[in-house]
Structures are given as C-alpha cells and as structure tokens.
Amino acid sequence: MTATQDRPAGAGATRPEAARINKPVRHRSIPLLDLYQTAVGKKWVMAITGIALMGFVFAHMFGNLKMYFGPADYDSYAEALKTIAYPFLPKTMVLWLFRVGLLVFFALHIHSAYSLTRMNHRARPTKYSRRDYIAANFAGRTMRWTGIIVALFLLWHLADLTFGLGNPDFVYGQVYNNVVTTFDRWPVALIYVIANLALGVHLYHGTWSIFQTVGSMNPHFNPMRNPVRRGFAAGFTIVVIGANISFPLAVQFGIVGG
C-alpha cells in the first residue's frame, strides 16, 4: 500500500483557477436595473414576459373560437378589436398598445433566452462522453428549439393572415374569408398543426417552470411531486393548443366555411 502514497507529480502542485464566465455585476443607482445583468434576474424577466405571452396566446385562442359562430360574428369580433375603449380613446389605439407591448415582451423573452443559453455554453466547455438524465424531460431540454420554431412560425403567421402574402384570395378586413381560404390548402393547415404542437411543448414546460422561477413553493399548493403545477401546465396547454389545432382541422373537414 505504500506505493499509492507517493503523490503523483502535478496534483497539488498546480491549483488551476476557475475561469470567470461573467463579469461582476455593476450596481446601478436603481437596483432593479441590475437584474438584467444577472441570470436570476433574466429568469424573472423570462417568467414575467412568459406569463404575459401566455395571457396573449390564451386570449388569441379564445377570440378565434368565434369562427365557429360564422362569418358575421367572426368579422365583427375582428372589427371590435380595433375599437376597444372607443370613443374614450382613438380607434385602434388600444390595439396598437397591445402590439407594441407584445413586441417588447417577445424581444425581452427571446433576448434573455439567447443570452442565458450562451452563458450556459460557456459554463460547460467540455461535454461528458455519457450522461444519464433522471429528471430533465424532453420538453425542458428542447425549450430553445421549440422557441425558435414558434418564433419562425409567428413571422410566417403574420405574413399569412395579417399581410396576406402568398394567399391569392386574401381580402384585407375579411378575416373569416382569409382564414378559410388559407386553411383550405392542406400544407398550410399542416404547418399550423405542427407549429402549435411545438408551442404546446414549450408552453407545457414553461407554465410548469414559472412557479419555480418566481419562487412559489408553498407546500399547501405544491405537495409531493407538485400535482397542482403539473395539472395547471397540462390543462393550460391542452386547452390552448387543442383549440388552436381545431381551427385548421375544422376548415379542412368543412365544419368551418364548408
């Protein structure tokens, strides 16, 4: 046993220092602004913008259910969006506030996701040859990819139904007609279904993850294995994505616009 007591040359002699992957935080006169320099702060930004985006996808889905009531109802709903709080405020003002707000939320959400991803790559320069995950699930590990699919889809969605690019039957303002004519083409319907499945995977992990990020941990709401959190995440995702996917399918099967 004596042989092993000789210290191998090198060990103990050199103590390598850890590389710093981030600069120290510069404290501002308004401490709240420090948050965006830090990862925990950026996660708060992701969570809060994520909640706002959840509110948006829910409202968007809920409003679109009107298409099941026919062209008159659906088009007047689209028109009503432009006159929220009118005549107290000018027409389309609230709509524009929503649009600008959404754009800012998207930008912050995507920028913090991007910068945290870069940070995480710096934090693990050498990968393991083999890694057995126990807790991390598919949804959690693919957030970046489902997020990118959703972002690309969003651009395409705006081009398709807001600007009418690529749809010869598009008529500005005739929302029902535009939805029916675009979803009538099966490749378009397919893209909507696939993109919504990606959004569903993203939402499922996101709606579960926010509870931890914002520090909700009251065992009265979160007993063993967090059934309330999982249930909320699954329920929210199924309702939003289920309804969203039903729209292109309803057009394809002639239930809407048939």
Partner 1 sequence: MQLKLKVWRQDGPEAPGRFETYDAVDIKPDMSFLEMLDVVNNRLVEAGGDPITFDSDCREGICGTCGVMIDGQAHGPWKGAATCQLHMRAFRDGDTIVIEPWQAAGFPIVKDLMVNRASFDAIVSSGGFISADTGAAPDANEIPIPKPVADSAMDAAACIGCGACVAACPNSAAQLFTSAKLAHLNLLPQGQAERFKRTEAMVETMEQFFGSCTNHGECHEACPKEIPLDFIALMNRDYLKSKLKNRKLAGQVFP
CA–CA separation, 35 vs 28, rounded Å?
10
Q: How far is the CB of 35 from ligand HEM (least distance, A)?
A: 14
Binding mask 11-40 for ligand HEM (x = CB under 6 A): ------------------------------
CB 179 within 8 A of CB 231: no
Residue 11, helix vs strand vs coil: strand
Quick check: 93 binds ligand HEM (CB under 6 A)?
no
Quick check: 46 binds ligand HEM (CB under 6 A)?
yes
The vertex-95 CA angle with 92 and 98, nearest 5°, equals 155
Tokens encoding 50: 């994520």
Query: Could you say which of 151, 193, 197, 249 contacts ligand HEM (CB under 6 A)?
Result: 151
- Among ligand HEM, partner 1, none, partner that 224 touches (CB below 5 to 8 angstroms by kind): none
Quick check: 45 binds ligand HEM (CB under 6 A)?
no
Part in contact with ligand HEM (CB under 6 A); list of ranges 30-38, 184-192, 204-212, 226-234:
204-212
CB 144 within 8 A of CB 211: no
CB 41 within 8 A of CB 116: no
Number of residues that bind ligand HEM (CB under 6 A): 26
**Which amino acid is it at 223?**
P
Tokens encoding 5: 């007591």
Site of interaction with ligand HEM (CB under 6 A): 43, 46-47, 50, 53-54, 57, 106, 109-110, 113, 140, 143-144, 147-148, 150-151, 202-203, 205-207, 209-210, 213
